[in-house]
Structures are given as C-alpha cells and as structure tokens.
Amino acid sequence: MDVRTLTDGAVVLSPPGPADVDAITEACRDPLIARWTTVPSPYTRADALHFVEDVVPAGWTQGRPDWAVRTAADGVLCGMVGFVPRVAWRAFVGNRASAAVARRVGFRYEGIARNGLLQRGVPRDVWVAGLSADDPPGHVDGWPL
C-alpha cells in the first residue's frame, strides 16, 4: 500500500514519524488511553519508537495504515487513527437479496441491530455481517436464511 497523507482542509492524516515520538509517549501514558486501547502499560519512549519505526511501516506494507491526526500538515499530533481491513454490511431485516450476495462473497453473519438504521425517519432493525481481510472467500453458512 502506498503511504499517503489525507486531508479535507481542516484535518490532516499523515503517517506518524520520529518527530511524533515524544507526543505519542506523553499521550499513551494517560491512564485512560491504556484503559481503552491496546497500548502497552506502562508506556515508554521505547514503545513509541518501536511504534513509529516498526509497527507503522509494517502496517502500511500489510494494508493496515496508521495515521497521525493533525490540524495542519506541519502541525503537532493530536490523535491517532488506524485502519484494520474489515468491511461491515448492513441491510434491513428481510432484504434476502442483499443478504444472499453478502453471504455468497464471504460475509459472516453477526446478528441483528435493533433500530440499527433509519428508513425515512423510522428506525428499523438491520441484519449485520462483517468481512475481515483474513476471512476466506466464498459462501458462508450460519446465516438465518
């Protein structure tokens, strides 16, 4: 995967690098970051170096990019966002044609999300399924159809 910087003019997503190590170290020492994420705890500067020097480049190579969130191209890191290759599928309960296609290409049925989508302002239940990068392709059993 080509390394890319993305922006909408207000937010800039760029790969984190050595200049971000101190900001990453400081942020990841926050107890709430450790509580709600998978970062090591306690978090050290060596962890941040490993992240920007090893984890980030490997992720980009494997199609799982991590970006630093900034408010300007040369701005300080104010957050992180990563992409794990998983696609979610949703369809209103009863849409058997859509479900048949999702099932045929390998989506795994995960259940029903009550009032999961609005249809013209009315909440409706939806079937939910997911497809991860490491799921084998092809027809999948376990659907309630």
| Residue at 122 is within a domain | yes
Q: What is the DSSP string of 61-83?
A: HTT--EEEEESSTTPPP-EEEE-
Q: For residues 59 and 19, state if they share a domain.
A: yes
Cα 47 to Cα 100: distance, rounded to the nearest angstrom: 45
Of 82, 108, 123, the domain-final residue: 82
Cα 69 to Cα 77: distance, rounded to the nearest angstrom: 6
Mean confidence (pLDDT) of the chain? 93
In contact, 98 and 72? CB cutoff 8 Å: no
User: Domain tally for the chain?
Assistant: 2
pLDDT score of 17: 95
Q: For residues 13 and 61, state if they share a domain.
A: yes
Q: For residues 38 and 103, state if they share a domain.
A: no
pLDDT score of 83: 82
Q: What is the pLDDT of residues 35-62, one digit of tens each?
A: 888 899 999 999 999 999 999 999 999 9
Q: Which helix (H) or strand (E) holds 13?
A: strand 12-14
Q: For residues 13 and 78, state if they share a domain.
A: yes
* Residue 31 belongs to domain spanning: 6-82
Q: For residues 68 and 95, state if they share a domain.
A: no
Q: For residues 38 and 60, state if they share a domain.
A: yes
| Residue at 52 is within a domain | yes
Q: For residues 45 and 94, state if they share a domain.
A: no
Cα 125 to Cα 114: distance, rounded to the nearest angstrom: 4
Q: Has residue 100 got a pLDDT over 90?
A: yes
Q: For residues 14 and 45, state if they share a domain.
A: yes
pLDDT score of 109: 97
Q: For residues 54 and 15, state if they share a domain.
A: yes
| Residue at 141 is within a domain | no
Cα 9 to Cα 55: distance, rounded to the nearest angstrom: 27
The percent of residues above 90 in pLDDT, for the chain, comes to 76
Is residue 72 classed exposed, middle or buried when 0-12, 13-18 and 19+ CB atoms within 10 A define those classes?
Answer: exposed
Q: For residues 43 and 92, state if they share a domain.
A: no
Q: For residues 68 and 96, state if they share a domain.
A: no
Tokens of 3: 């390394």
Q: Which residue has better confidence, 22 or 145? A: 22
Mean pLDDT for 90-97 is 94
90: helix, coil or strand? strand
Q: For residues 50 and 90, state if they share a domain.
A: no
Is residue 134 very low, low, confident or very high in pLDDT (cuts 50, 70, 90)?
A: confident
Q: Which of 43-52, 77-86, 94-103, 115-124 has the highest mean pLDDT?
A: 43-52
Q: How many CB atoms lie within 10 A of CB 104?
A: 12
